[in-house]
Amino acid sequence: MNPTLYRDFAQDFFTLHQCKIIEESSHHFKVKLTSDIDEEIMNRPFYWHYMKKMNRSGDPATLSFHLSQSENHEGIYLHAGTPKLHTLYRTAMKKGKMTRLYEATDVPNHHEALTPWFAINVLLHYRGKQTRNEHLALGLNLINGSIIPSFTESIWSESFKATVTDYTFPMTPIINLRSAYKRIEGYIESYVSRKTHEWAQQSIEQLKEEVTLLKSFYESGDMEEEQYQKEYDQLKERYEPRIIMEVINGGLFYLSGQTNAKLFKQLG
């Protein structure tokens, strides 16, 4: 992956959380953390516990990141595996898990109705003999039930606020969230079933082969039943194909008529 992607992400993370970038060049940047972010990502709970107890403000750390590897500079080399970067991912995902947002339209269009959508981003983990995963970003219209793929990307450049603006009002959803979630699950099931699954086929064959071997060994009397059961369970864990659905984040979004129309146009 392009190394500037990591840099962009890290810098956006820090600026979004009010940490000041105090030095910057094409190959490095330096950032002064806030107390909150220091506590969140620097893994020094005792220090902060002590500071709070003593009623002191504490001294948040300064981090410098480099885009290339060299012994000459102190600081963190930023690449796909940088542990600190992974801490940032985790923190970002924790802090951005759930939301409710109203689109902020700049045209004062009196009493415009905002349409409620349930946005949900999931990772599908395909697990069997081998693994991979797949992203799905779905949006479900809570008035008419239609589902749109790549929802989050489609509304990426619109602006949203936590409170509804004076000129607009949110419509009450007709479909409640729990049944919306059920529909999403159903959608994912049918999405998955429309694809071919060589990986699952291979996993099943491998599982069969190894179970047969284990069984014949067990039946020949060289193995206790308890041991057999344990080995059998381990084989299933190792090969049995399954898809694990993990929700990254989700939100209730109220969209303006204009954005709504754009989405449906996309849907065709």
Segment 209-228, which members bind another protein (CB under 8 A)? 210, 213-214, 216-218, 220, 222-223, 227
DSSP 211-251: HHHHHHHHHTT-S-HHHHHHHHHHHHHHH--EEEEEEEEEE
Q: How far is the CB of 259 from another protein (least distance, A)?
A: 13
Q: How far is the CB of 214 from another protein (least distance, A)?
A: 5
252 touching another protein, by CB under 8 A: yes
- Give the C-alpha separation, 82 to 1, whole Å: 13
- Binding-site residue total for another protein (CB under 8 A)? 89
Tokens found for residue 266: 């996309």
Stretch of 47-55, 109-117, 178-186, 258-266 contacting another protein, by CB under 8 A:
178-186
- Give the C-alpha separation, 16 to 33, whole Å: 12
For another protein, which residue of 105, 154, 168, 249 counts as binding (CB under 8 A)? 249
20 touching another protein, by CB under 8 A: no
Nearer to another protein, 54 or 98 (CB): 98
Nearer to another protein, 61 or 214 (CB): 214
What letter does residue 51 receive in the DSSP assignment? H
46 touching another protein, by CB under 8 A: no
For another protein, which residue of 225, 237, 265, 268 counts as binding (CB under 8 A)? 237
- The strand pairing partners of 31, in sequence order, are 21, 63
Binding positions for another protein, 68-127, rule CB under 8 A:
69, 77, 79-83, 88-90, 92-93, 95-101, 121-123, 125-127
Name which of 249, 217, 140, 151 is nearest 184 in CA terms.
140
Stretch of 30-38, 53-61, 138-146, 231-239 contacting another protein, by CB under 8 A:
231-239
For another protein, which residue of 165, 187, 192, 262 counts as binding (CB under 8 A)? 192
181 touching another protein, by CB under 8 A: yes
- The strand pairing partners of 21, in sequence order, are 31
φ, ψ for residue 115, nearest 5 deg: -90, 130
- The strand pairing partners of 115, in sequence order, are 255
- Give the C-alpha separation, 267 to 263, whole Å: 6
